[in-house]
Copies of this chain bind each other. A is one copy, B any other.
Amino acid sequence: MSTPGRGLHGHVLDTLGPEITAGEYPPGSVLRTDELAQRFDVSRSVMREAVRVLESMHLVESRRRVGVTVRPMSEWNVYDPQVIRWRLAGKDRARQLRSLTVLRSAIEPVAAGLAARHATSQQCAELTECALGMVANSRGHKLEEYLVHDMAFHRVILDASGNEMFARLGDVVAEVLAGRTHHDVMFEDPDPAAVTLHVQVAEAVRAGDAVRAEELTREITVGALQELDILAP
């Protein structure tokens, strides 16, 4: 995605990471560095670097005389964008998408409220532009163009909140929106009500109306949650 297989150790991670996050090795499973190096046909140095990265994500733990043991899912660094990507590409993408959508529903309304207070005039302009782009592509099976503007819209909101923790969720939200468009729901044109809400949020932010921006965004995320409930009650 962002950094595709840069170097041999990257290629190893592209295979091993998804396998682990997909749960192919039950927690407590033991892998041996040497065997992995053989399997991927790389030197032990390269394999060790890959293991170190997995370890920094808390996916595995490396202990002397034991080997590389897989940690239970509850200990994974589930906010690591790489881990999120692996899991979204794997088996439990539905569960993952639900968790992330709930996260969105908590974060984005608050972020929109802050954005109404902190957004620069340029960010307001970008927001309006994105909302207009969504309107323009809301009919006629132009889902891809719509998605681009939708992702940009939410990224601007999160950035404009002025909170770095929120801002860093831009990639995650984009991934969720993309996943929704490309796989699960959204067979036809997007919900007109949602499009309108985005336009209204842009207006509220520009007007500096924090309460209204927060409430409108809450409606958007509630809608996203309902979409999931319809799909898998």
Contact of A105 (CB < 8 Å), options: B49, B57, B99, B110:
B110
Q: Does A166 contact B (CB under 8 A)?
A: yes
Stretch at the interface among A18-26, A79-87, A199-207: A79-87
Name the residue in A102, A106, A163, A168 with the highest tally of chain B Cβ atoms < 10 Å from its Cβ: A106
User: Nearest chain B CB to A222's CB is how many angstroms away?
Assistant: 12
Bound complex: CA A82 to CA B56 (Å): 9
Q: Are A102 and B163 in contact (CB under 8 A)?
A: yes
Interface residues of A in 154-213 (CB under 8 A from B): 163-168
> What CA separation (Å) do A73 and B165 show in the bound complex?
11
Q: Report chain B residues within 8 Å CB of A80.
A: 56, 77, 79-80
Q: Which of chain B's residues have a CB closer than 8 A to the CB of A166?
A: 102-103, 106
Asked, given contacts A45-B45, A107-B106, whether A100 binds B56 with beta carbons under 8 Å apart, the answer is no
Contact between A168 and B79 (Cβ–Cβ < 8 Å)? yes
Asked if B77 and A81 make an inter-chain contact with CB atoms under 8 angstroms apart, the answer reads yes
With a cutoff of 8 Å between Cβ atoms, the chain B residues found around residue A110 in the complex are 102, 105-106
Determine how close the nearest CB of chain B comes to the CB of A233; give it in whole angstroms: 15
Tell me what chain A mostly uses at the interface: helix, strand, loop, or mixed.
Answer: helix
Q: Say yes or no: is A121 at the interface (Cβ < 8 Å to chain B).
A: no
CA distance A100 to B164 in the complex (A): 9
Contacts of A103 in B (CB 8 A): 107, 163, 165-166
Q: In the complex, how many angstroms separate the beta carbon of A213 from the nearest chain B beta carbon?
A: 14
- CA distance in complex: A217, B114 (Å): 19
At the interface, yes or no: A52 with Cβ under 8 Å from chain B?
Answer: yes
Contact partner, A99, options B57, B81, B100, B164, Cβ 8 Å: B164
The winner among A9, A105, A109, A165 for most chain B CB atoms within 10 A is A165
Q: Which residues of A contact B (CB under 8 A)?
A: 9, 45, 48-49, 52-53, 55-57, 73-74, 76-82, 99-100, 102-103, 105-107, 109-111, 114, 163-168
A-B residue pairs in contact (CB < 8 Å), sample of 10: A45-B48, A49-B49, A53-B53, A56-B80, A74-B167, A77-B79, A78-B165, A79-B165, A102-B114, A106-B109
Extra contacts besides A77-B79, A78-B165 (5): CB < 8 Å: A45-B48, A49-B52, A99-B165, A106-B111, A106-B166
